């Protein structure tokens, strides 16, 4: 049977699957870890927040997700917290690095075939290189630093500003034109402002996001 154009079944199915993976499965892993006395590091996201703030979200700010993905990740946070396992919930954002598609590499690819690109300038966040995130996660685990952590590169920017910096560091001459979110509609809403800040006294601090860009470019194209 052909589905009606207004049918919500596919979206509902995706939402349910996301909750099972990001929520229920995370709880299952944490309960198993509790039986073994293992420390759990739960990887979460900036999407657990509404994205309408005017200052960075800290670890103590109340989550208020606006998308199915954000709700599923918050369900995972709560499942891990209720599991009885000693745990840390680590939120990160705007990830890029080796091993998969990412925004930085996509922009560099477009620059090879275009004279200019238009990039959203009204969404702000913390671009975080996975090469900086990975050792930070290990440090949290080794210290058994329980509670909520915000693990993102220091500083903030828009996707437009990130692209300008990437092209500058890479020596790319492609022009970058600012545009707005409404010109790039997506199935799921992206937070307009999802800047995270580490306010814990024992916070694990990552380098500035510009250093992450430099490290990624160096890794991507060895000197």
Looking at the annotation, which residues are catalytic?
69
Give the residue from 218, 182, 222 showing the smallest Cα distance to 104. Answer: 218
Q: Which of 204, 198, 123 is nearest to 161 (CA)?
A: 123
Question: How far separated are the first and last CA of the chain, in Å rounded?
Answer: 56
Residue pointed to by tokens 């005017």: 54
DSSP structure string for 165-201? HHHHHHT---EEEEE-GGGS--SSPPPSB--B----T
Gap between the Cα atoms of 68 and 18, Å rounded? 8
Spatial contact of 140 and 90, defined as CB atoms under 8 Å apart: yes
Q: How many CB atoms lie within 10 A of CB 69?
A: 20
The position carrying tokens 């200019």 is 116
d(CA 101, CA 32): 32
């Amino acid at each position: 049977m052909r589905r009606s154009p207004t049918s919500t079944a596919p979206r509902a199915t995706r939402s349910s699957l996301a909750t099972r993976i990001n929520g229920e499965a995370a709880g299952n892993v944490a309960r198993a870890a509790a039986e073994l006395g293992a420390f759990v590091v739960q990887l979460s996201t900036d999407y657990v927040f509404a994205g309408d703030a005017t200052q960075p979200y800290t670890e103590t700010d109340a989550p208020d997700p606006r998308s199915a993905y954000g709700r599923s990740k918050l369900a995972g946070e709560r499942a891990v917290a209720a599991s009885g396992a000693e745990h840390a919930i680590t939120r990160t954002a705007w990830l890029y690095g080796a091993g998969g598609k990412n925004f930085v590499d996509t922009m560099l690819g477009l620059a090879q075939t275009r004279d200019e690109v238009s990039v959203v300038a009204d969404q702000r966040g913390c671009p975080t290189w996975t090469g900086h995130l990975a050792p930070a996660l290990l440090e949290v685990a080794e210290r058994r630093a329980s509670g909520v952590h915000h693990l993102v590169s220091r500083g903030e920017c828009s996707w437009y500003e990130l692209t300008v910096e990437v092209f500058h560091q890479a020596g790319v001459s492609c022009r970058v034109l600012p545009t707005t979110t409404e010109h790039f509609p997506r199935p799921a809403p992206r937070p307009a402002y999802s800047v995270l800040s580490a306010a814990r006294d024992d916070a694990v601090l990552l380098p500035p996001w510009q250093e992450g860009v430099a490290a990624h470019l160096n890794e991507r194209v060895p000197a």
